[in-house]
Homo-oligomer: A and B are copies of this chain.
Amino acid sequence: MPAAAQIPLSMLLVFAAAKLLAELFERLGQPAIVGEILAGVLLGPQVLGWMTPGDSLRILSDLGVMFLLFRVGLEVKASELMKVGGTALVVATAGVILPFFAGWGICTLWGQPRIESIFTGAAMVATSVGITAHVLASRGLLDLRASRVILAAAVVDDVLGLIVLALVSGMAKGGVNYLDTALTAALALGFTVFVARFGTRAARQVLPRMHAALRIAEGEFALAMTLLFALSLLAVFAGVAAIIGAFLAGMALSESAGTRLHDLTDGVAELLTPFFLVGIGLHFDVRAFAGGGTLLLALVLLAAAVLSKFIGCGAGALGMGRTDAIRVGVGMVPRGEVGMVVAQIGLNLGVLPNSVYGTIVFLSVATTLIAPPLLKLAFRAPTQLERDVIESG
């Protein structure tokens, strides 16, 4: 095959497979996103073996989730996210504690070594805001109260997850530096709250003037992309994920963005999101636990991962009524790429054997496949508040 065929072939395979399975799942009344992830499973080592994770398409997958979050951020006003901040904090905290101890406890009872058990617990803490946000955005549900709580809680979860990861990485290295961990947490929290709190105002005051002064074509888009990449970079240096920066960049622009910026962003997100979703599916590989014992442990952990997040986050949101509590609980279930990052760190530190790594990746993909159909169900029934709005309307 000519070398020049590599890029168009990979692009065609990933994109066409994702859209084909998305269409199939839509027709079956299932979420299209599950089809796109399954396209990755199909192309990956488990089934066809045509692609492997970590090849040249990796950058498209990373950019895909970045633009997915940026696009969701564009639809969310920071002020409305700050309003649900208190609830989100409770939801995220409960959704960290319960899964962590569930994962740790089950592994310990199963006779796993201490540090592996703790790392598995840490991986169960993760929440992939990308998956839920994509489902909610594509169904036009981002304005609902439960959606806002999920988004805010997922951002808080990223900061809490950072703290948990710093603690368990410290343990793995032989000793936790509590001062370092506290400073890391403060920096991450400070960055996130600061940008969420003041980003919109700064963007509203500065960007339109800069835009007016620019002579290049598509100046608004150029400024928005610069902000997106700059905040993603700063987020990494502040200790949170690049996608949190991307989300904050979108949110900062949400009140000033014109239609053209929305359209252009949609184009990039439409092209790249399938690469993110297929990229998740590519990691699915049950051969990691060829021994039956590990597969059983993985299934028990999967059940615990779903239930502990659902119960923890749902309990944290009970003040919003039962329907919204269920929605929030379900919305926080997918671990996606975030859980995989934790597993990767454990692997690099040399404290996770490949079988445990495989288990965590399996968990991350499986929770991500389970969540969208549950979300569809959870958002079907209207809350009392929504009924009131409908009746008064």
Taking beta carbons and an 8 Å cutoff, which residues of A are in contact with B? 2, 4-5, 7-9, 11-12, 15-16, 19, 22-23, 26-27, 32, 56-57, 59-60, 62-63, 66, 138, 214-218, 221-222, 225-226, 229-230, 232-233, 236-237, 241-242, 245, 260, 263-268, 270-271
A237-B5 contact in complex given A229-B11, A265-B267, A267-B264, C-beta closer than 8 Å? yes
CA distance A25 to B229 in the complex (A): 23
CA distance A22 to B215 in the complex (A): 9
Q: Are B218 and A7 in contact (CB under 8 A)?
A: no
- CB nearest to A214 among chain B residues: B23
| Residues of chain B with a CB closer than 8 A to A267's CB | 221, 263-268
Among B7, B218, B232, B233, contact of A62 (Cβ-Cβ < 8 Å): B7
12 further contact pairs, Cβ within 8 A, besides A8-B66, A12-B233, A23-B216: A2-B237, A5-B237, A7-B63, A8-B229, A8-B232, A8-B245, A16-B230, A19-B222, A23-B214, A56-B59, A59-B59, A225-B271
| Residues of chain B with a CB closer than 8 A to A226's CB | 12, 15-16, 19
| Residues of chain B with a CB closer than 8 A to A265's CB | 267
Q: Are A138 and B12 in contact (CB under 8 A)?
A: no
Copies of this chain present: 2
CA distance A63 to B15 in the complex (A): 14
Minimum Cβ distance to chain B for residue A131 (Å): 16
12 cross-chain CB contacts under 8 A: A5-B237, A7-B62, A8-B66, A8-B242, A12-B230, A12-B233, A15-B229, A23-B216, A59-B60, A221-B271, A222-B270, A268-B268
Q: Are A216 and B22 in contact (CB under 8 A)?
A: yes
CA distance A69 to B242 in the complex (A): 31
A7-B59 contact in complex given A19-B216, A23-B215, A215-B23, C-beta closer than 8 Å? yes
CA distance A225 to B8 in the complex (A): 11
Among B8, B32, B245, B264, contact of A233 (Cβ-Cβ < 8 Å): B8
CA distance A138 to B217 in the complex (A): 8
Minimum Cβ distance to chain B for residue A216 (Å): 5
CA distance A359 to B138 in the complex (A): 51
- CB nearest to A242 among chain B residues: B8
CA distance A5 to B233 in the complex (A): 6
Q: Are B138 and A242 in contact (CB under 8 A)?
A: no
